[in-house]
Structure 1
Amino acid sequence: MASATKEKFTKQEKSWILYDWANSVYATNIMAAIFPIYFTAVCGGDTSGMQWWGYGTSLATLIVAVLAPILGSLGDYKGMKKKFFTFFMLIGVFCTLIMAIFDNWQMLLVGYVLSYIGFAGSCLFYDSFLTDVTTRERMDKVSAWGYAMGYIGGSTIPFLISIGILLAMGMDNPTAVKLVVVLTSVWWGLFSIPMMRNVHQKYYLDGKPQHMASAAFTNVGRTLRSIVKNKGLFFYLIAYFCYIDGVGTVIHMSTSYGSTLGLDTVGMILALLVTQIVAMPCSILFGRLAKKLGAVRMIGIAIGVYFLICVVGFYMGYIIEVDEQAIGTAQILFWMMAFLVGTVQGGIQALSRSYFSRLVPPDKSNEYFGFFDIFGKFATVVGPFLVAVVTGATGRSSVGILSLLVLFAVGGLLLFLGREPMKQAEAAAEQARRAAGEK
């Protein structure tokens, strides 16, 4: 693949990257920023809205996590990866669109659960396509650019358009929210076209359709045993589970923590917008530095920055606990924390994805990514629980945030201890790639 070694992106690489641009609008508008507020309002504005939203998110996440290994195994067969990707993507786009039709919270919740399943399912197959669209040497760069374009495409441009619609028509106007939902669906579907047209499955397993389902269950068991036996892969997945749990907890609990401390809501939203803007160039920078310093080392540096983020978060809460008049200083510290998150959030996610791609056999990438998806989905479980328990035991939310250092410490330690086994796993995967026909 001589063309893939050039500095310029190939058509397949560009098309793959563009899907991050396409789907990130869903993560921003539907999962995080706008639709949850609208859903809570439709439910009556009380705690029941938050509860049902939590139930719906948990249900959708659980369904995808449980099905991921089976779907991944089926996707490794010839021609199946693209079919599954397209199916889940269309489910996500369509169910997002129909959410603009209904006004009762029950149907909105059903639409959200189905659209989230479509979103998460498409991302599973999208991630596994990384081994098909590029070479081992370019995986870090391509993956990093995917996240970078996602921050622009999903977290900035359409998000700002959506805010403009809400400001122009009224923040409490249901029609404005419906237009935002339509915008999300159209943006996602439109920019998914290059992925569907230009990205193709290069590595696959041969098999007859009638035997695929039964073979999938056998393959899942075999893959799980292979992961346990492969010390490098096993070390990495456990490390990934720990540190990505910490990353996810910081993402999901930052505004909740700030609200608990009494920080200004508008100020926090603007600070999080800064996070998205900063994350774009920093994701690209991480990809470039990984080429010089190595992906594992850059992941370790990101973990170190998250150590600093947790310390800043602790101090931000501590000064308010000591002196309630220090709210202004705490607000500044929140902005500092948001900036720091932006410097590493995209980078650590992108390199985690690309490095995992280098550890797995290319013709079974989907099956292995099914387990990778499980670890990612079930992460952000331990962290929030740890924060809640420590906060309850000490009566101080600042100490609860500080407890996340445990997750980052364990993840970083496992990366350090697993260096040699991971190098061996990477070499074995590269040998398998060459045996599969890459030149």
Structure 2
Amino acid sequence: VTGLEKEETPISKEITHFVKLICGVAFAFGFIFFLMVYLIQRSWLAALQYMLGIILANVPEGLIVTLTVCMTLSAIQLKKKNCLAKTLQAVETLGSTSCICSDKTGTLTQNQMTVSHLFCNYKIYDKEDHTHVSDPTYAKLCLAACLNLKAVFHHETMDLPIENRKVIGDASESAILRYMESIRSATQTQKDNPKEAEIPFSSAYKYQVTIHRMEATQSYYFVMKGAPEIVVEYCLGIHTEDGVQGMTSQVKRELKANFTKLANMGERVIGYCDMKLPLTSYPLGYKFNTQNRNFPIDDLIFLGAISMMDPPRKDIDKSIALCRQAGIKVVMVTGDHPVTALAISRLCGTITEPTAYDYAFEHHIELVDVPEHIKNQFDAAIVTGDELRKMTVSDLKTTLTTHNELTFARTSPQQKLFIVETYQSLGHVVAVTGDGVNDSPALKRA
């Protein structure tokens, strides 16, 4: 972010161009009048006076004052719509916007995450279905979800009902904390089984790891959570009612089909896996080093997944329709699963046309099996972070110009910046909306 240079705003460019034009006209007329007066009066002093008079007469003294007053009045109008202009130039730049790159969570959606479903033992359970709480696999998933949490309740609100407590943490973690607190005390579980080590979540590797000292077994317990399709790749088996089953290619396909089913509902899916670290290799008091990784992060056992719903903001589809009527392209750029991004894009109105994903669903095939010539026929597209990683600037320019409707999914902060810079190189004035640290490079560039 600190390495990004600020570009001139459209109005700064226009003012610079206008001033150069006026200067050119003023000096040209000044020189002409200088020659005319000198030829007629044969006086260098009179000619010089005329030239200076003509040049100074063309200086637009009132330009800055007029522009400042106009933009201040515009800023006052924007304030009435709860929009605060940080700088006056931003008012005019906002009016010049031709493309909006928007984050999903908290921007297009309400940022009010609630747990919708739990998936384990190859079954999807509704959040209201508590009949399986005592099932071994279900219980293990809930234990892992309670432990691998960064969100905490504010100590001053602990006496209030769970739904009224203030949570310190992001929307996803807050939703899991509230739900787990309601079915089993997540706060007490964390106290009983203290955290010994942690690898925080990163958009680069898309997982988070915690290691806990378990009170019941007096041993260490490893929990990983993250993007389900990433988490599955670290697993050697899966917890089921019949014990641990091997992670075969068929099992992976079945798991991914269930993740897609949840994502199709517009839900964010988080996968969990675990490992009981043997006491022989990791005795009590063992010093875990997260930098040098003196513990394994593969050969794990998949537990299940938790999905959450964050409903779109009220009338967001009407707002996006208004932007489109004004000739503004609206693009969703999110870190979520591509199918979740597509479902929310449909609800918000950023995607209205069929995509290659719809073709794959209709024909019951994987997206990778959709022929390239079929993909190119669609006017709308979902572009993933993996696809972006393989693209050159010219490839992305081609994608941006050939598709009228676009949504970017599973993107990193660097890729969000890449998208904004490419749109700018195509001549667009880009606005970015986002409320996360991962949006900051793109926000700064815009």
TM above 0.5, yes or no, is no
More strand by share: 2
Q: Which has the higher contact order (CA 8 A, sep 6+)?
A: 1
Please state which structure has a larger fraction of its residues in helix.
1
